[in-house]
Amino acid sequence: MNRKSTRKKRTENAGASKRNLELTVITYGFLAIFIAMCLYFAYFLTFGAEDFINNPYNARVSQFSDDVIRGDVLSSDGEVLATTQVASDGSETRVYPFGSTFAHAVGYNTNGKSGVELDGNFNMLRSHSFALTRLLNDFTDTKDQGDSVVTTLDAGMQKTAYNAFGSYRGAVVAIEPKTGKILCLMSKPDFDPGSIASNWEALNSDSDSSVLLNRATQGLYPPGSTFKILTALEYLNEGGKMSDAFDCGGTYTENGYTIHCYGNTSHGNEDLKQAFAKSCNVAFSQAGLSLDLNKYKNLADNMLFNNELPTKLSNVKKSSFDLKKGDDPVLVMQTAIGQGDTLVTPLHMAMIAAAIENDGIVMEPYIIDKVVNDNGDLVRPYFGDNYGAIISSEDAKKLKKLMRAVVTDGTGSALLSDNYKAFGKTGSAEYTSDKNATHSWFVGFAKKDGKEVAVAVIMEGAGSGSAHAVPVARAMFDNYFAE
Q: Which residues bind Zn ion (CB under 5 A)?
A: 248, 261, 267, 280, 282
User: Which residue, 261 or 446, has its beta carbon nearer to Zn ion?
Assistant: 261
For the CB of residue 432, give the shortest distance to Zn ion in the complex, in Å.
Answer: 22
Beta carbons of 347 and 456 less than 8 angstroms apart? yes
Give me the least distance between CB of 464 and Zn ion, in Å please.
Answer: 14
Closest-CA residue to 101 (of 162, 51, 55, 142)? 162
d(CA 398, CA 230): 12
The residue type found at 359 is D
How many whole angstroms separate alpha carbon 339 and alpha carbon 286? 14
Note every long-range contact of 96-103, with CB atoms under 8 Å and residues 24 or more positions apart, other chains counting.
96/192, 96/193, 96/194, 98/155, 98/159, 99/192, 99/194, 100/190, 100/191, 100/192, 100/193, 101/158, 101/159, 101/162, 101/186, 101/190, 102/153, 102/158, 103/187, 103/190, 103/191, 103/192, 103/193
User: CA 363, 151, 112: angle at the middle one, nearest 5?
Assistant: 105
Q: How far is the CB of 279 from Zn ion (least distance, A)?
A: 8
CB of 264 to Zn ion, least distance (A): 9
The Cα–Cα gap between 68 and 127 comes to 7
Give 151 or 428: the residue with its C-beta nearer to Zn ion: 428
Whichever of 248 and 313 has its CB closer to Zn ion, that residue is: 248
- Cis peptide, bond prior to residue 189, ω within 30 of zero: yes
For Zn ion, which is the closer residue by CB, 249 or 329? 249
**Complex with Zn ion: residue 125 or 261, whichever CB lies closer:** 261
Cβ closer to Zn ion: 64 or 441? 441
For residue 105, the minimal CB distance to Zn ion (Å) is 38
CB 110 within 8 A of CB 195: no
Burial 119-141 (b: 16+ CB within 10 A, else e): bbbbbbbbbbbeeeebeebeeee
Minimal distance, residue 248 CB to Zn ion, in Å: 3
Q: Output 286 or 373, the one with its CB closest to Zn ion.
A: 286
- Smallest distance, Zn ion to C-beta of residue 251, A: 9
Nearer to Zn ion, 229 or 355 (CB): 229
Tell me 95's DSSP state: E
Closest approach, Cβ 425 to Zn ion, in A, equals: 15
